[in-house]
Amino acid sequence: MLGETLQLGRYSAFTQATVALSLAAIFWDIAAKTYLAVLAAAVTTLCGAAIVATPRYRGVIGGGASCPSTRGAFRVLHLLAFGRGLAWATMPAVLLPTLDNAYRVVVGAVCAALISHAYVAGPVFSLALLAVVPVVAGIFIGLAGCEGPVGHSVALLLTLYATFVFVSARRLCGHAYQRIRNRVVVQAQSETIELLLKDFAEGTSDWLWEIDTVGRLRPSLEPIAGLLGVDPVALRHRTLQAVLRDFADEAGGATGIDAVLTAIAARSPFRDHTVRLRTRDGRRWLTLNGRPVFDALGTFVGYRGVGSDVTASREAQARIAFPFDKVKVDRSFVRDLQGRPEKVAVVEAIARMARALSMNVTVEGVETQAQLDVLRAKRCDVAQGFLYSPARPASEVMALIDRIEATSSPVPDQARMRTALAIV
């Protein structure tokens, strides 16, 4: 508020100083010279102080004034405005009773102009009151010394005029205050949004992208440059279409790039379009969301959107989708199986999962009968290890199987385990 008032206050001060000197010259041979000299000196001094103070306080505010600095600036401006108001108030009070009607017109015109300076106060209505109310009071004092009919008529007209000026100036000040307040709120919200976007960009693998009307990438280029493994400078003035085409991974079939470029060409919003690229670090999958942006007049100004690096999830999906029908328990879970309940719990969980998926469980590294008994109890299907035999040539396999079957005791069907022999 103070900054906007200072923008107009300097011109108002210069104008009033000029008017004071002009009045002294006009009435020099008609009114008291001492009074005119004092009036001109007082007004020009106060206006000069306002002109000098204005740049200083604008610099303080522009540099981020603290609350004490702002309050100090308000106090100084109010004192200067009230001082000028008091100085000008003496002019009609002294000159109107002593001049003839022709010169009274000049005094009245100057007073009307001074009253209209209430509009210059901007959003700070208190400055208008301090500068103008003394002038209005001085006019009434001066008119009281004039002839009855003329003084009374002018006083009535002055009342109407001053009332109109004060009411309209008050409304304008209110609108100016609301406009400035909205501007400050929007600025604060913009700063908050900027901080949130910065935190978002730093704390997630997602990144923001933007292109202009011809498809050129706009700052910031660092996130996408980092994903592609190139210097951000290399992406300056390049279009999104060119970048996607250059890094497209054509080896694996359709890349998904055409769907994105088609939507952009049609100026249509798109969501969750996945593209496959070949970068310095290997193959990457990126999911892009975007929407067209239009200005207040409805003119297309570009696209904005969010990109996500979904490489890890796509690779995980590919691993899950790989077909398999058996589950194998590594020898590290079987070693020291006795006395290690956590290992027994892992083996049991694997067996349950396999049964739920209708798959067999193969356990490797079985070396003792105690391990085999635990695995049978957990309903594992196939066992392999040195308990049965080390690796044997193919020619000895059938004889070994016959010997194992001849020496094994029968077990219930639900606990039976098949043996797996390594054949070399």
| Domain end among 285, 318, 351 | 318
**105 domain residue, yes or no:** yes
Exposure string (b/e) for 116-134, b if CB count within 10 Å is 16 or more?
Answer: ebbbbbbbbbebbbbbbbb
Q: If 0-12 CB within 10 Å is exposed, 13-18 middle and 19+ buried, where does residue 379 land? A: middle
Distance CA 87, CA 79 (A): 12
DSSP 101-135: HHHHHHHHHHHHHHHHGGGGGTT-HHHHHHHHHHH
Sorted by sequence, the CB contacts under 8 Å of residue 244 that are 6+ apart come out as 257, 260, 261, 275, 277
CB 388 within 8 A of CB 410: no
CATH number at residue 300: 3.30.450.20
If asked whether residues 222 and 344 sit together in one domain, one would say: no
347: CATH: 3.20.20.450
Q: Would you call 212 helix, strand, or coil by DSSP?
A: coil
The alpha-helical segments, DSSP class H, found in 272-340 are 311-321, 331-334
Please check whether residue 169 lies inside any domain of the structure.
Answer: yes
Residues 111 and 224 in one domain: no
194 in any annotated domain:
no
Q: Would you say 65 and 3 are in contact if contact means Cβ atoms under 8 Å apart? A: no
Query: Does residue 126 share a domain with residue 8?
Result: yes
- Tell me, yes or no, whether 200 lies in a domain: no
Under 8 Å between Cβ of 80 and 53: yes
Print pLDDT tens along the chain (424 aa). 455 556 667 778 888 899 999 989 999 988 889 999 999 999 999 988 888 877 666 554 444 445 566 677 778 878 888 898 899 999 988 888 888 878 888 888 888 888 887 777 656 777 778 888 898 888 888 888 777 676 777 778 888 888 888 888 788 777 777 777 777 777 777 766 666 666 655 555 677 888 999 889 887 778 788 888 888 888 888 898 999 888 888 776 677 888 999 999 999 999 989 998 888 888 888 899 999 999 878 899 999 988 888 888 887 777 666 666 788 888 888 877 777 888 888 888 888 888 887 888 888 888 888 888 888 888 888 888 888 777 778 777 777 777 767 765 444 443 344 444 443 3
Q: Domain count of the chain?
A: 3
Pinpoint the alpha helices (H) of 63-99: 67-95
User: Looking at the domain assignment, is residue 201 inside a domain?
Assistant: no
User: Is residue 302 one of the residues assigned to a domain?
Assistant: yes
In sequence order, which residues have a C-beta less than 8 Å from that of residue 334 and are 6 or more positions away?
A: 343, 347, 363, 364, 365, 366, 367, 371, 375, 385
My answer on whether 42 and 155 are in the same domain is: yes
On whether both 211 and 235 belong to a single domain, the answer is yes
Domain around 259: 207-318
